[in-house]
Structure 1
Amino acid sequence: MAIVLKGYPRLSETFIAQEIEGLEHAGADVRLVSLRHPTDSHRHPVHDRVQAEVLYLPEYLYQEPWRVLTALLAMLRNPRLRSVLGLWWRDFKRDRSANRIRRLGQALVLAHELPGTADLLYAHFIHTPCSVTRYAARLLDLPFAISAHAKDIYTSEDWELVEKLDDALWTVTCTAGNCAHLRPLTKRPEAVHLVYHGLDTTDLVIAEQEAAKPVGNSGLRLLTVGRAVRKKGLDTILQALAQLPDQLDWHWHHAGGGELLADLKAEAARLGIAGRITWHGSQPRDVIRDLYNQADLFLIASRVTGNGDRDGLPNVLMEAASFAVPAIGTRVGALPEFIEHDVSGWLIEPDDVPAMAAAIAGLAADRTRLERYGRAAALRLQTGFAFNHCLDPLVNLLQAVRETKADTGSTTIADLPSK
């Protein structure tokens, strides 16, 4: 199986690396194909455990013209090239962009350079990676499958979602809301499956054993881990913190890089709360684990942006729960699917500053309730979002591909069971 990714490795997509590692442990022969080279300054331990080799496609065609030209010349002998060019032209007429041209060039290189043999191409993200995968799969006469997440779904045009869903063997997605959005778009709604990412807590459990959480009457330790981008709603958090009672002792830690970081620091200064905030920036895994272990309450203020971008089920929410740190979160994406309101955390509407401030102040004044939420969050993770349990449906889908090919010699949509 070849897994097509928009970039690898990426700290913001450790859930994908976790899935790859799990598939390798389940016996899958995995090859990785990345549309971009890595840019992060740190790596997650799971990236070092993944064994699969990575084929990096030309990120921009002009940077490696000979690879693209060589692939094109080789594909001229491919009887399926005409069909692929027809498919691409129909797409290009509806999306006349340089990105669409790049997708075709990357697909040619993928089809030409993919090492060995593969039974299936599997695209993470239904937008650009899936376009490259779809073209390459047709060139290689292979089936393809999709893992759809959040931004990739809601920033794509419906015509493209419809055609990709209909052409794919099956699609998995990580939230019930995504399923409800995608299933009506395809003539095969039964082929769209809910598969949560789940969380492998191996690294986090080790950290928890290494350092005991501080006790005593120290102030409320608040934490957010995530990129400083608009969909994360960090401005909502800042405004809520500024509304907390003067007598409340609190400190907020933020870990993550992002394009809005400088603006957010300036806003914190304007609000007069800069001295109660520590901006850690992008950090290696051991620092992040220590932050979880020190925290009392996790804040996640996700919102839906103007172009439809939003969170799905952020790994950081589950990571916090693995340390028995409950969350105040917004009703966006799969946050309400993980946070049980007034059981394992507290839910508010997006951009509701007074509600977030009130929830923080309320939990600060009731440490017993805060600790109860934390225990419930850890239990929620263990019983509903354990990694191996969440991986099983995906393994079963892949096993069906292998078994069908063994029985029939092919893996077409008609051959494969959809459930």
Structure 2
Amino acid sequence: MGRSRIVMVVSGFPRRSETFALQELLALDGCGLLAAIFATKPGDGSSLHPDCHRILNKVQLLPAGSSVEQAEALVQRLDRKTVTGIHGYFAHTPAEVASHVSARIGIPYGFSAHALDLRKVPGEEMAARAGNAACVIACNPDAAADLSRRGAKVKLLPHGVDLDRFRPAPLTLCEPVRLLAVGRLVEKKGFHILIEAVRRLPFPFYLRIIGEGPERTRLAAAILEAGLSESVELCGGMTHTDLPGQYAKADIILVPSIQTGAGDRDGLPNVVLEAMASGRPIIGSDVGAIGSAVAQGETGMLLPPGDPSALAGALETLVRTPGLSMKFGKAARRLVERDFELGACTERFCRHLETVYV
């Protein structure tokens, strides 16, 4: 595909929760398009996903400061002879830094948008940033619609999932039913709603919640107050080394996301595609772009967000109807094979950036 010519500006890197970023950066590097990665702040310090080490030598941490100051620091480190484009991997600070670099040295810039990053930028500012960009990429339909409302010309390029790493395993649905939720412990994931929902279940279950974050203390207190210490476990964060086995041991995957009072919501979380690739039935909230993969009555069950009674009822329906779970799991695997296979998704991403910048 040619020499390395694209600089990527990311936020904190590496981050365990942002596997999608790692996968697309690895793909850019693999096809010879990645010149360097500049991070606007440090990573989260957690365990690294497999293959992350392959690109760590291309990561440079920018000094703390304003976006203009970070852009100037980036320019000073740049080999301008080989760089023909700069891409902000998120729509907030990385895109702002990329735009300043573009203005400073006269190369095109663009940016990708995901979820919260998009909502951190005021509408008029986002419209101007998109209007000056050589490309604007949305990774899910919710982000694409938001950008389109602001007048941006958007390319929808979904993230993919590794179908070899996440593979189906037999479903058992024996009691206690094994439930699994995966995600950062933040309000928008709706895990406090999940704890209230499972408290109402009339059958034995064991729920594992994988992830770390600021809501851990609140969730631990809710588990204790509900008398669920023997049935609900906060497991901490895990990488792709461990997650496939966790999906294989689970009967049902729960994605109880909500929109917060501040307007934050998920796009299409990693857990949805990983669970579907693992052939697991999903019960998810109809918020953000979750419904672009979890089709009600086809690949899972889609519920109103923030409703513990509806969530408990859907769980009981799946447990009492094992054939439905198997149907959902098989259909989910077929859908990700068709629409979200990692190699096909990252190839589209790389080819689009090559067309724009090289």
Same fold (TM over 0.5): yes
1:11 aligned counterpart, secondary structure: coil
Q: Which amino acid aligns with 1:230?
A: E
2:37 aligned counterpart, secondary structure: strand
Match of 2:96 in 1: 131
**1:393: Cα distance to partner?**
3.4
Match of 2:164 in 1: 202
Match of 1:333 in 2: 288
CA distance in 1, matches of 2:352, 2:165: 28
| Structure with the largest fraction of strand | 2
**1:201: Cα distance to partner?**
2.9
Match of 1:99 in 2: none
1:30 aligned counterpart, secondary structure: strand
Match of 2:3 in 1: none
CA distance in 2, matches of 1:395, 1:103: 26
CA separation of 1:308 and 1:113: change in aligned 2, threshold 3 A: same
- Note if contact 2:251-2:281 (Cα within 8 Å) is conserved in structure 1: yes
Does residue 149 (structure 1) correspond to residue 104 (structure 2)? The answer is no
**1:214: Cα distance to partner?**
7.3
- Note if contact 1:329-1:347 (Cα within 8 Å) is conserved in structure 2: yes
**1:283: Cα distance to partner?**
2.5
Report the more deviating stretch, 157-166 or 282-291. 282-291
- Note if contact 1:32-1:52 (Cα within 8 Å) is conserved in structure 2: no
1:349-368 CA-partner distances (Å, limit 9, x unpaired): 11011110100111011111
Aligned match for 2:205, one of 226, 230, 250 = 250
Aligned match for 1:14, one of 1, 15, 19 = 19
Does residue 48 (structure 1) correspond to residue 53 (structure 2)? The answer is yes
Match of 1:315 in 2: 270
**1:402: Cα distance to partner?**
5.0
Residue ranges of structure 2 left out of the alignment (5+ in a row): 1-5
Identity %: 30
Report the more deviating stretch, 387-396 or 319-328. 387-396
Question: Equivalences for 1:109-128 in 2 at 5 Å?
Answer: 109-115=73-79, 117-128=82-93
CA distance in 2, matches of 1:383, 1:399: 24
Does residue 379 (structure 1) correspond to residue 344 (structure 2)? The answer is no
CA distance in 2, matches of 1:319, 1:181: 25
Aligned match for 1:107, one of 71, 75, 78 = 71
**1:52: Cα distance to partner?**
5.7
1:12 aligned counterpart, secondary structure: coil
Does residue 178 (structure 1) correspond to residue 143 (structure 2)? The answer is yes
CA separation of 1:55 and 1:216: change in aligned 2, threshold 3 A: closer
- Note if contact 2:163-2:337 (Cα within 8 Å) is conserved in structure 1: no
CA distance in 2, matches of 1:349, 1:52: 44
Q: Which amino acid aligns with 1:56?
A: L
Match of 1:241 in 2: 198
- Note if contact 2:113-2:139 (Cα within 8 Å) is conserved in structure 1: yes
1:197-223 CA-partner distances (Å, limit 9, x unpaired): 111233334xx6xxx657473421100
- Note if contact 2:16-2:44 (Cα within 8 Å) is conserved in structure 1: no
CA distance in 2, matches of 1:221, 1:314: 21
Residue ranges of structure 1 left out of the alignment (5+ in a row): 62-101, 404-419
1:258-292 CA-partner distances (Å, limit 9, x unpaired): 10111101111111112101211122433322211
**1:135: Cα distance to partner?**
0.9
1:6 aligned counterpart, secondary structure: strand
Deviating 4+ runs (over 3 angstroms): 49-52, 212-218
Match of 2:37 in 1: 32
CA distance in 1, matches of 2:89, 2:185: 23
Over the aligned positions, Cα root-mean-square deviation in angstroms equals: 1.8
CA distance in 2, matches of 1:151, 1:236: 21
TM-score by length of 2: 0.93
**1:43: Cα distance to partner?**
0.4
CA distance in 1, matches of 2:128, 2:197: 43
1:370 aligned counterpart, secondary structure: helix
2:244 aligned counterpart, secondary structure: helix
CA distance in 2, matches of 1:402, 1:39: 30
TM-score by length of 1: 0.80
CA distance in 1, matches of 2:10, 2:272: 23
Q: Which amino acid aligns with 1:367?
A: P
Aligned match for 1:280, one of 235, 242, 261 = 235
CA separation of 1:269 and 1:364: change in aligned 2, threshold 3 A: same
| Structure with the largest fraction of helix | 1
